[in-house]
Amino acid sequence: MKAAPFDYVVADSVEGAVEALADHAGDAALLAGGQTLVPLLALRMAMPGVLIDINRIDGLAGIARSGGATRIGATTRQNTILHDPLVARHVPALARATGFVGHHQTRNRGTIGGSLGLAEPAAEYPATALALGARIEARSPSATREIAIEDYFLGPYTTALDMDEMITAAIFPDWPEDTIHIVHEVARRPGDFALVGLVAAFAVEGGVFTRAGIGWFGMGPTPMKSARAEAALIGQPAATVDLAGIARLAIEDTDPMSDIHADAAYRRTVGARIFERIVGDAIGQRKAA
Amino acid sequence: MSSHAIETIVNGQSISAQVEARHTLADFLRGTAGCTGVHVGCEHGVCGACTVIVDGVAVRSCLMLAVQADGATVATAESLAAPDGTLHRVQQAMKDEYGLQCGFCTPGVVMTLAAITQGRSPDAEEIKDALSGHLCRCTGYQGMLKVAKRLGGEVQA
């Protein structure tokens, strides 16, 4: 299908983009990579009156280190993230998650800000940001703020961003040097949305878990965080932890839907199984190393 | 609905045109630039038939607006063969290895392969991953994988 008519404006600065958002309150959409928005336009599932193209804003793309964190600009392309040495070193889970995002051709356009702004519950980046405790840097005409990721996802495609606010960067704080990073998804075909997806990070010191981040995608109306399982792991010895029990606890904090692709019980079963198996393998490899 | 003057280089030719905001790059390439080698399958980014090279990388032309290509350099399948008809190495490999059947998905596949083997030599796995962005309903993947193997083993100029 063809998109319904809309107006198009190019923003040449972040200030200009958020002013345009404010001017067209509620009737505008930001165009970043367009790899999800343009299909939504073509299917007429989205019919904004105005598209504000942020691709030409200088300095909005880029990856940098600052204050014990890795800051990734909103229009940084997914394929840039996939091959970036800073991301590989400091945010390996994000690099690995990127390999599951769409296809090579869509990753050449798709951006991290676009994915986080859209907040598709089955997408890789939102769950990765949630698992790793990222912060969302956002700008409105009147203020710049950072939003804690736990406060950011409100529902399917719904975030804490105000109507006149845009993401300028995602900030991933460092985890300890030898953190175990896990990204795994079960999908029918490569590049499809996951039926069940898991992103996790586990810091282990002196043989016990000292920090844990567990995020799921495709497992609820938003990316889901297993806060109780994270807390339960702290202080547990990695060698003898009851992973099956932790997996059950982790799944209790998800809320998967039944749809044509898989029912909720199946997603829960698969989620618990991959958690136990993949986390178990990763801990086993660490012990063997 | 806004309308925009754009200037873009398509297969080495500079084109100035007035485009509607909602006009996709795929429709612009077919309708205005006359590059009907850009095949439009699903029109929402799933099938990969409309893949072209924009500023050096493979993208789905149905997921870019024509107006976004203002100032960009675009290559379509029409640009690959030499003027005397000598096939591009990707086209030759597709022909030799029976990498196509009905041919609908082929221009997109060829543009992805041309993009990722330009000036470098990806391994067969990387090529296979990039091919996963294309749907071939003739089930022609085995031939394409042979192409991938052959291109992956070659050192590219």
pTM over 0.90: yes
pLDDT at A56 over 90: yes
Those residues whose C-beta lies under 8 Å from the C-beta of residue B114, and which sit 6 or more positions away, are B53, B75, B80, B88, B90
Q: Do B74 and B13 lie in a common domain? A: yes
Which of B35, B53, B79 terminates a domain? The answer is B79
- Mean pLDDT rounded to a whole number for chain A: 96
Q: Do A214 and A246 lie in a common domain? A: yes
pLDDT at A256 over 90: yes
Nearest CA of chain B to the CA of A287: how many Å? 30
Residue A2 inside a domain? The answer is no
User: Which residues share a beta bridge with A29?
Assistant: A51
| Predicted pLDDT at A16 | 98
B51 lies in which domain range? 3-79
Q: Do B63 and B22 lie in a common domain? A: yes
| Predicted pLDDT at B154 | 57
Q: Do A149 and A201 lie in a common domain? A: no
pLDDT at A70 over 80: yes
Which of A52, A71, A88 terminates a domain? The answer is A52
Distances (CA, A) of A272 to A8, A135, A251: 46, 27, 6
Residue A68 inside a domain? The answer is yes
Chain A interface includes B43 (CB < 8 A): yes
Those residues whose C-beta lies under 8 Å from the C-beta of residue A263, and which sit 6 or more positions away, are none
Chain B interface includes A104 (CB < 8 A): yes
Distances (CA, A) of B111 to A229, B39, B54, B83: 46, 12, 10, 18
Q: Do B12 and B68 lie in a common domain? A: yes
CATH, residue A107: 3.30.465.10
Q: Do B73 and B112 lie in a common domain? A: no
Contact B1 A5 (CB under 8 A): yes
Chain B interface includes A3 (CB < 8 A): yes
Residue A92 inside a domain? The answer is yes
Q: Do B15 and B72 lie in a common domain? A: yes
What tens digit of pLDDT does each residue of A79-102 get? 999 999 999 999 999 999 999 999
Q: Do A202 and A153 lie in a common domain? A: no
**Residue B133 backbone dihedrals phi, psi, to 5 degrees:** -85, 10
Beta-sheet strand order (sheet of A63-65): A63-65, A69-73, A166-173, A135-139, A144-148
| Predicted pLDDT at B153 | 65
Tokens of A9: 């404006």
pLDDT tier, A230 (very low <50, low <70, confident <90, very high otherwise) = very high
Mean per-residue pLDDT for A7-24? Answer: 98
Nearest CA of chain A to the CA of B51: how many Å? 8
CATH, residue B27: 3.10.20.30
User: Which residues share a beta bridge with A71?
Assistant: A64, A171
Interface size, chain A vs chain B, as Cβ–Cβ contacts under 8 Å: 92
Of B2, B58, B60, the CB nearest to A7: B2
Residue B76: strand, helix, or coil: coil
How many domains is chain B built from?
Answer: 2
| Predicted pLDDT at A266 | 97
Q: Do B73 and B9 lie in a common domain? A: yes
Mean per-residue pLDDT for A155-170? Answer: 97
| Predicted pLDDT at B1 | 84
Of A31, A38, A190, the CB nearest to B132: A190
The full 3-state SS of A106-125, as one line of letters, equals HHCCCEHHHHHHHCCCCCHH
How many domains is chain A built from?
Answer: 3
Chain A interface includes B9 (CB < 8 A): no
Neighbour count for residue B16 (Cβ, 10 Å): 9
| Predicted pLDDT at A33 | 98
| Predicted pLDDT at A289 | 62
Residue A188 inside a domain? The answer is yes
Is the sign of the CA dihedral A115, A121, A124, A126 positive or negative?
Answer: positive
Nearest CA of chain B to the CA of A76: how many Å? 15
Of A3, A79, A102, the CB nearest to B22: A3
What tens digit of pLDDT does each residue of A185-211 get? 999 887 778 999 999 999 999 999 999
Which of B53, B79, B105 terminates a domain? The answer is B79
Residue A203 inside a domain? The answer is yes
Residues 106-145 of B with CB under 8 A from A: 112, 116, 129-130, 132-133
Residue A1 inside a domain? The answer is no
CB A189 within 8 A of CB A92: no
CATH, residue A40: 3.30.43.10
Q: Do B99 and B54 lie in a common domain? A: no
Q: Do A167 and A201 lie in a common domain? A: no
Q: Do B32 and B70 lie in a common domain? A: yes
Q: How far, in whole angstroms, is CA A15 from its chain's centroid? A: 25
Tokens of B76: 């379509």
Chain A interface includes B56 (CB < 8 A): no
CATH, residue B145: 1.10.150.120
| Predicted pLDDT at B120 | 82
Contact B59 A43 (CB under 8 A): no
Check residue A149 and report its DSSP letter.
Answer: G
Q: Do B19 and B62 lie in a common domain? A: yes
The residue with tokens 């193209």 is A53
Distance CA B85, CA B90 (A): 14
Q: Do B15 and B75 lie in a common domain? A: yes
Q: With pLDDT > 70 as the criterion, what percentage of chain A qualifies?
A: 99
Residues of A235-251 as b/e, b for ≥16 C-beta within 10 angstroms?
ebebeebebeebbebbb
- Choose among B133, B154, B110: nearest CA to B60: B133
Residue B58 inside a domain? The answer is yes
CATH, residue A208: 3.30.390.50
Which of A153, A173, A193 terminates a domain? The answer is A173
| Residues in chain B with pLDDT values less than 70 | 153-157
* Chain B interface disruption, residue of A104, A192, A193, most B CBs within 10 A: A104
Chain B interface includes A221 (CB < 8 A): no
CB A141 within 8 A of CB A64: no
CB B72 within 8 A of CB B9: yes
Residue A164 inside a domain? The answer is yes
Chain A interface includes B67 (CB < 8 A): yes
The kind and range of the H/E element at B92 are helix B89-96
Residue A115 inside a domain? The answer is yes
**Residue A92 backbone dihedrals phi, psi, to 5 degrees:** -60, -30
pLDDT at A157 over 70: yes
Q: Could you tell me where the DSSP H helices lie in chain A?
A: 14-23, 37-42, 78-83, 85-90, 92-98, 104-107, 112-118, 124-132, 227-233, 243-252, 264-288
Q: Do A150 and A213 lie in a common domain? A: no
Q: Do A151 and A216 lie in a common domain? A: no
Residue B84 inside a domain? The answer is no
Residue B146 inside a domain? The answer is yes
Q: Do B36 and B101 lie in a common domain? A: no
A110 lies in which domain range? 63-173
Q: Do B75 and B117 lie in a common domain? A: no
